Amino acid sequence: MRSISCLLCAALALAGPAAWSAPGGHGGGHGQSEGNGAAHAGMGAADAASGKRVSDKLASDSRLSASLAAKLPPGADVQQAAAGFRNLGSFVAAVHVSSNLGIPFGELKDKMMSGDSLGQAIHALRPGVDADAAARQARSQARAQLAAR
């Protein structure tokens, strides 16, 4: 019995807070359908396993960096913009949301860095927009962009 408990604890620890914070692993509420954003954006476990920071990945992929820079405000440093994001997929999705909805990237990032999910941040900054649909679209764009690398 003790070994089963240990295995369960280990599995929950590896899955992260999104898996056990609420029923279904999503936490409920606007924008929570994306979970932690990692698996949905094509990144996540690989990010954690590699130990590479998002900014390191961008530094080694100039094509991706240039593509994302084109969607950020003129003169923005892509690596600096990525600072604080837990995985590359969530950063790329946030860049797409900013571009798609005309939300200043800095405002979106501030919301996300203060604990809001992508969907929650969209809802807070653009209440009239279907936040879940906008987050899904951005995650889809992020997956496609990351798969094309």
Q: Each residue of 56-97: pLDDT tens digit?
A: 899 999 999 999 999 999 999 999 999 999 999 999 999 999
CB atoms within 10 A of CB 99: 16
For 82, other C-beta atoms within 10 Å of its C-beta total 25
Task: Kindly indicate the confidence band of residue 51, based on its pLDDT and cuts at 50, 70 and 90.
Answer: low
Q: What tokens appear for 120 in the block?
A: 């929650």
Continuous segment of H or E residues that includes residue 121: helix 118-125
Residue 40 has pLDDT above 70, yes or no: no
Confidence label for 16 from pLDDT (cuts 50, 70 and 90):
very low
Cα 57 from Cα 30, distance rounded (Å):
30
The Cα–Cα gap between 80 and 65 comes to: 11
Cβ-contact 112, 31 below 8 angstroms:
no
The per-residue pLDDT of the chain, averaged, comes to: 77
The single-letter code of the amino acid at 66 is A
How does pLDDT run across 88-125, given as a tens digit for each residue? Answer: 999 999 999 999 999 999 999 999 999 999 999 999 99
DSSP-derived secondary structure letter, 33: G
